[in-house]
Structure 1
Amino acid sequence: MSMSNLTVSDDHYVFALVVTAAYFLVLFFVWQVR
């Protein structure tokens, strides 16, 4: 199980990075509008 997760970890890492980037983008946008 842990071996198969190694190949999927890259996708999860990219997905988490995109979600975090989008979250900070929205946060920055809201901070600018305020």
Structure 2
Amino acid sequence: MDIKIRAYKKEDEIGWVRCRSLSFLDTAYYDNVLRGK
């Protein structure tokens, strides 16, 4: 598996928010979700 690091793009925002939200829903860190970028 190759990993490519690139600059953030505006169209990445929705995917980033979904991924971040889902990753915290089932953890003890749910109350520590940052609400800003």
TM class, shorter-length: 0.3 to 0.5
Give 1 or 2: higher helix fraction: 1
Using the size of structure 2 for normalisation, the TM-score is 0.44
Using the size of structure 1 for normalisation, the TM-score is 0.47
Greater RCO (CA < 8 Å, at least 6 residues apart): 2
Q: Which structure: larger Rg?
A: 1
